[in-house]
Structure 1
Amino acid sequence: MTAYAIAHIRPGTMNDDVLRYIEEIQATMDPFGGAFLVHGTTPEVLEGPFPGTVVLISFPDLDRARAWYGSPAYQEILPLRTRHVPGEVVLLDGVAPGYDATRTAAALREAAGL
């Protein structure tokens, strides 16, 4: 099942370290099948405060997403960003093909006795 790395990147200081991180990140993702789906775009914020931008990367599965994040190649460049640009990063599984939220709601109703 496709998995995703999502980063909420807050405003920070653009400098040579950050540019080097951007230049080198793709090579760290390639061995794990990682691909940018969203990168460098400004979100259209519809609800609540949302400073910064979003990065969305897909991976073939959660194991490969974890392996990428923990890889020596990525860990080597990660401080280039984190020293200058704050943010949060999460990994998560996508939904299975044919996912239907109504079935999820029904299961939640049943579990809650509603």
Structure 2
Amino acid sequence: MEQKRAYVIGHIRVKDPVSWAEYCSKVPGTVAPWGASLVFRADGAQVLSGEHAYTDTVVISFPDLASVKAWHESADYQAIVPLRQKAADVVIISYEAQA
């Protein structure tokens, strides 16, 4: 059976731009061992319908959900979580692609 790609989507409201820039500079080194790649990062969200309290979004592609879980629980990523929490309010969601 073919593995389905998985995606991590982060919805972000930056509180401390300097700390956020530092956190963002450290994330790529934590996802690389899991075969992940940045799909896009954007700010200035334009809400077309409903309410959305976040201004920035990031989407990261992983080979599968197991890789997402391994990355998120890894010592390297967990080491920068306090920096993320200081820098921004973030909601992180993972999805398995259906197609």
Query: Where in structure 2 are the equivalents of 1:40-79 lying within 5 Å?
Result: 40-50=42-52, 51-79=54-82
TM-score by length of 1: 0.75
Instruction: Tell me the distance in 2 between the aligned counterparts of 1:61 and 1:42.
Output: 29
Unaligned 5+ segments in structure 1 are 97-114
Unaligned 5+ segments in structure 2 are none
Q: Which residue of 2 aligns with 1:25?
A: 27
**Contact 1:66–1:91 (8 Å) recurs in 2:** no
**Contact 2:11–2:91 (8 Å) recurs in 1:** yes
Deviation at 1:82, TM superposition (A): 1.0
Query: Where in structure 2 are the equivalents of 1:35-114 lying within 5 Å?
Result: 35-50=37-52, 51-96=54-99
Q: Which residue of 1 aligns with 2:6?
A: 3
Deviation at 1:43, TM superposition (A): 2.7
Instruction: Tell me the distance in 1 between the aligned counterparts of 2:26 and 2:58.
Output: 15
Deviations for 1:36-69, whole angstroms, at most 9, x for unmatched residues?
1121343332112323111111100000011111
Deviation at 1:11, TM superposition (A): 3.4
**What SS does the aligned partner of 1:40 have?**
strand
- Residues paired across the two proteins, number: 95
Instruction: Tell me the distance in 2 between the aligned counterparts of 1:70 and 1:41.
Output: 26
More relative contact order, 1 or 2 (CA 8 Å, 6+ apart): 2
**Greater Rg, structure 1 or structure 2?**
1
**What SS does the aligned partner of 1:86 have?**
strand
